[in-house]
Amino acid sequence: MHELSICQGIVDSVCEAVPEGKVLGVTVEIGRLSGVVPDAVRFCFDACTRGTRVEGARLDIVDVPGRGRCGSCERALDVDALVMRCPCGNPFLEILRGRELRIRSVEVN
């Protein structure tokens, strides 16, 4: 499962970034265009953290809405799908935001 390896990656990164101490909370930004399902990450989190210093930590997921710009008319648009057509007819939007998958902060004891 895709989200399982993503979740494992998050836990590994946290452990690397925080060499000591107990991790109490992790805040992760997940863009709506990232293809990652927040609920699935949440579901995997407990299993992935078991036996690590992240075990028992709170997982906060920040939902990042998609935003894009039309290369033709330069209009900025809210984007909720990877393929979306601008009202001017141009289907090629430059994605400005929404593909994020990153750790925003880690709370350590």
Compute the least distance from the CB of residue 92 to Zn ion, in Å: 9
- Name residues whose C-beta falls within 8 Å of residue 109's C-beta, 6 or more positions apart in sequence: 21, 22, 23, 24
Q: Which CB atom, from 15 or from 77, has the smaller least distance to Zn ion?
A: 77
Q: Which CB atom, from 10 or from 70, has the smaller least distance to Zn ion?
A: 70
- Name residues whose C-beta falls within 8 Å of residue 52's C-beta, 6 or more positions apart in sequence: 11, 15
Instruction: Encode 89-104 in three state secondary structure.
Output: CCCCEEEEECCCEEEE
Compute the least distance from the CB of residue 97 to Zn ion, in Å: 17
- Return left, alpha or beta for 62; rule: phi > 0 is left, psi -120 to 50 is alpha, else beta: beta
Question: Max CA-CA distance within the chain?
Answer: 53
Q: Which of 10, 30, 54, 86 binds Zn ion (CB under 5 A)?
A: 86
Binding pattern for the stretch 41-80 against Zn ion, x by CB under 5 A and - elsewhere: -----------------------------x-xx-x-----
Q: Which of 24, 88, 91, 92 binds Zn ion (CB under 5 A)?
A: 88
Residues of this chain that bind Zn ion (CB under 5 A): 70, 72-73, 75, 86, 88, 90
